[in-house]
């Protein structure tokens, strides 16, 4: 939005009262950066010129020359950027990247580590796929450790993630083998709990096979695409949301047991 506002203001200034402050190379960089960012946000912003000189040629072709053409040149800028402003305003109102409910984070004694991983995931999920997968594994690990700490249980920092995940689920009565009353003890929920246990471990295995950051690889991560990062991140969010929801819920079976 800041790039779009800058480009809009500079082109209006150049086309009307000469109040633009950027140079030709600078407006070229602004327009290139703006189009690149819009592309990463999955919409294509077409700007049929590269700089101020190109904008002048453009408005001349459109019949917006001379002193009488000031409003026409403003209208041309509106045509170029009006739709983009609308799309960005919609995106600004939407959640940005993977998130956990604020209520579960507020219920923790110290949510700093989890929030740090979430921030990294939001920055990486579409641009740095290996970092997204590595951070998804770290989010699961930090969440499991947080659960054990909040439950007052002993924890060995050297414990492998599969064991850590299992211990955390057991601590909350969420392991498939747990004898739990109510919906959590049904065969249907047990199947789901077994599934989330598997996906948490799967995220760690994907990272350990060299597709995520945290281990130095010897070659390129062949075949890795955005869908794999989304898979790992969404799997991690699903597991962590379940764990933290159960941790802070005052009515869950583990509290009475």
Question: DSSP for 41-97?
Answer: TT-----S-SSHHHHHHHHHHTT--SGGGHHHHHHHHHHHHHHHHHHHHHHHTS--S
Distance CA 134, CA 137 (A): 5
* Residue 36, token pair as written in the block: 């690149």
Q: Which pLDDT score, from 0 to 100, does residue 209 have?
A: 85
Q: How much is the pLDDT for 99?
A: 77
125 is written with which tokens?
Answer: 């999920």
Q: To which residue do tokens 């350990």 refer?
A: 208
Query: What pLDDT does 8 receive?
Result: 97
Round to whole Å and give the CA distance between 231 and 84.
29
> Tell me, what's the pLDDT at 183?
80
Distance CA(54)–CA(90), nearest Å, equals 30
- Check residue 90 and give its pLDDT: 84
Angstrom CA distances, 82 to 36, 76, 77, 185, 214, stand at 18, 10, 8, 55, 43
Q: What is the pLDDT of residues 146-158, one digit of tens each?
A: 999 999 998 888 8
Positions of the chain with pLDDT lower than 70, given as ranges:
94-97, 179, 181, 214-222, 257
Burial group, residue 147, by CB count within 10 angstroms (0-12, 13-18, 19+): buried
pTM over 0.95: no
pLDDT, tens digit (0-9, with 9 covering 90-100), for 176-205: 887 676 787 788 988 999 999 999 999 999
Give the SS3 label for residue 18.
coil
pLDDT at 218: 45
Q: What does the pLDDT read at residue 171?
A: 93
- Look at residue 217 and give its three-state secondary structure: coil
pLDDT tens digits for 123-138? 888 778 889 899 999 9
């Amino acid at each position: 939005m800041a790039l779009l506002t800058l480009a809009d203001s500079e082109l209006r200034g150049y086309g009307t009262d000469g109040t633009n402050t950027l140079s030709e190379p600078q407006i070229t960089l602004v327009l290139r950066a703006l189009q690149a960012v819009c592309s990463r946000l999955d919409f294509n912003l077409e700007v049929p010129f590269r700089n101020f000189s190109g904008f002048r040629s453009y408005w001349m072709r459109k019949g917006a020359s001379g002193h009488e053409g000031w409003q026409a040149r403003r209208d041309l800028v509106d045509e170029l950027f009006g739709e983009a402003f609308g799309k960005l305003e919609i995106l600004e109102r939407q959640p940005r990247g993977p998130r956990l409910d604020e209520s579960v984070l507020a219920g923790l004694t110290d949510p700093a580590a989890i929030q740090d991983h979430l921030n990294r995931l939001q920055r990486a999920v579409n641009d740095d796929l290996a970092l997204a997968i590595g951070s998804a594994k770290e989010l699961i690990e930090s969440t499991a450790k947080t659960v054990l700490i909040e439950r007052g249980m002993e924890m060995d920092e050297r414990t492998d993630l599969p064991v850590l995940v299992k211990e955390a689920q057991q601590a909350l009565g969420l392991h498939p083998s747990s004898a739990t009353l109510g919906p959590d003890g049904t065969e249907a929920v047990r199947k789901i709990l077994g599934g989330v246990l598997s996906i948490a471990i799967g995220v760690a295995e994907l990272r350990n096979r060299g597709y995520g950051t945290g281990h130095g690889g010897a070659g390129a991560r062949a075949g890795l695409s955005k869908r794999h990062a989304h898979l790992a991140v969404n799997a991690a969010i699903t597991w962590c949301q379940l764990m933290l929801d159960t941790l802070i819920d005052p009515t869950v079976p583990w509290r009475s047991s």
